[in-house]
Structure 1
Amino acid sequence: MTTIGFIGSGQMATALAALAIKAGNDVVLSGRPNHAKALHHKVAELGPLARAGSAEDVKGLSDVLFLAIPFWAYRNVDPQIASHRLLIDVTNYYPGMYDPPALLNSGELTSSELIQQHFSSARVVKGFNTIAAHHVLALARDTDADDRSAIPIAANDGAAMNEAATVLDEFGFDAFRVGTLADSWKFGPATPAWVSVYQADPGLPWTIDPGRPASLDRIRVAIDSATTD
């Protein structure tokens, strides 16, 4: 049994925690002190394999970490929390919404490369940023299911990417390996592989769309059609 930690306790963290528990893992969710009551309520709903904790608890107890917070908030997280651990970066950078470093604003770095710089001793893998939380729960499938969906991932460390692919498989998804963190722009916000590829009806608001499986081939086509324009 693995302990999986979540830096964050929002909808995505909670959805992924539910899949982690279904796969037989313990989970630790951390949140801001002023959200303690809501966090404990979520943990109670997740059941006995879940616990609420501080950032230090996540650091000390977890084998695998998910960074599931608003992108800008990574700067407030102690990088030692993820030291020498697999860190799956679920964040999304939306141009114009934050005050990013110049290298990010100019496109010289991707947001996940910036995350890797901050968590310099972690093994960062970009993943699960392309799918809505309710689609995560709706589309997870057993390994041998014909309608399994794929999630694009990217990492600078091949071994870390393989470890992340194993986590995805346990959670009910195939991994589509895109490349390094420099390539992760190919599945960032507003790209063909982001959110709409999992929608049953792209004309619906994604918040109420029931979801549609996105196979490895479908994700491959979406990644191949990404442009920098």
Structure 2
Amino acid sequence: MTTLGILGAGKVGTVLARLAVAAGYRVLIAGSGPRNRIELIVDVLAPGAIPLTAAEVAEQADVVILALPLGKALPLDEGAGIPRDALAGKVVLDAMNYWWEVDGHRDDLGDPTVSTSRLVQNLLPDSRVVKAFNHLGYHDLDESPQPSGSVGRSAIAIAGDDESAVAEAAAIVDALGFDPVVVGGLDEGVHLGPGAELFGAKKDADGIRDAIDRATATAV
């Protein structure tokens, strides 16, 4: 059984934990502090997931999803919010976005031409980072899963440089109830964040491909 770790016990993190438990994964989840701070939250919102510390999740999980506020994951002191050493060699799915309302006005995160997932990869050079699960709101993540092959199934875009990591991310997206659509390398994550057509938009696989085609044509 694959062990899926989630760093972040907010709305997105708990929804993904609940979907992953339903899909048959062993799920570990951590907030920003001791496990007892999130035990009740996890018990109510993601029953079956196991609350641990961030270090324990990073150490024990096979694949880790980052569902933290980006400003906590990428602070100016070089990643104090992420247990980097424990994530070496692992697939890391980046579900984070830059929100100035939450993260503050940050010159290091606010360049719209730079994928924040590229910044995450730079912070985790020994991990295989894939952008995924960031462009759908938590309500749509919670309410839209369907079995593979369902007509009109909602899709999740994936961007990554490592082919095997992208394939593993696609398998997780499918297992959680969405059609995976690979949109290119990690730098294509700029088309998935706030301000992009796909951000917050519930689309099927063809709709995502059409939106990416428009975005890349405009960029050229």
TM range (shorter): 0.7 to 0.9
Conserved 8 A contact 2:145-2:154:
yes
Q: Unpaired segments of 5 or more residues in structure 2?
A: 74-78
Q: Is the 8 A contact 1:141 1:147 kept in 2?
A: no
Indicate if the aligned counterparts of 1:6 and 1:65 stay in contact, CA closer than 8 A.
yes
Q: Does 1:91 align with 2:114?
A: no
Aligned pairs for 1:195-206 within 5 A: 195=200, 197-198=201-202
1:225 aligns with 2:217: no
Q: Distance in 2 between matches of 1:176 and 1:222?
A: 12
Secondary structure of the residue aligned to 2:149 is: coil
- Which whole-Å CA distance do the structure 1 matches of 2:95 and 2:85 have between them? 18
1:58 matched to 2:57? The reply is: yes
Tell me, in whole angstroms, the C-alpha distance in 2 between the residues paired with 1:107 and 1:191.
10
Q: Secondary structure at the match of 1:225?
A: helix
Task: Tell me the SS of whatever aligns to 1:148.
Answer: coil
| CA drift at 1:43 | 2.1
Q: Does 1:157 align with 2:129?
A: no
- Say whether the 8 Å CA contact 2:130–2:186 is kept in structure 1: yes
SS of residue in 1 equivalent to 2:156:
strand
Structure 1: give runs of 5+ residues left out of the alignment: 199-213
Task: Give deviations 1:73-104, integer Å, cap 9, x for gaps.
Answer: 11222211321111000011246843232xx5
Q: Which residue of 1 aligns with 2:121?
A: 116
Change (3 A) 1:15 1:105: closer
Contact conserved, 2:55 with 2:83, CA < 8 A, in 1? no
Offset of residue 105 of structure 1: 4.6
Q: Deviations over 1:52-87 (max 9, x none)?
A: 101221122111100001111112222113211110
Aligned residues: percent identity?
A: 32
Closer/same/farther in 2, CA of residues 182 and 95 from structure 1, 3 Å limit: farther
What do you get for the CA RMSD once the two structures are aligned?
Answer: 2.0
Give, in whole Å, the separation in 2 of the partners of 1:181 and 1:95: 22
TM-score, with length taken from structure 1: 0.85
Give the aligned residue type for 1:148: R
Aligned equivalent of 1:193: 198
Task: Give the aligned partner of residue 68 of structure 1.
Answer: 67
Asked whether the 8 Å contact 1:192–1:225 carries over to 2, the reply is no
2:11 aligns with: 11
1-structure distance, mates of 2:205, 2:99: 26
Give me the whole-angstrom Cα distance separating, in 2, the residues matched to 1:110 and 1:218: 21
Residue 105 of structure 2: SS of its match in structure 1?
Answer: coil
Partners of 2:118 and 2:27 lie apart in 1 by: 26
Q: Pairwise mapping of residues 27-42 of structure 1 onto structure 2 (< 5 A)? A: 27-33=27-33, 36-37=36-37, 39-42=38-41
Distance, in Å, in 2 between the alignment partners of 1:43 and 1:105 is: 32
CA distance in 2, matches of 1:222, 1:108: 17
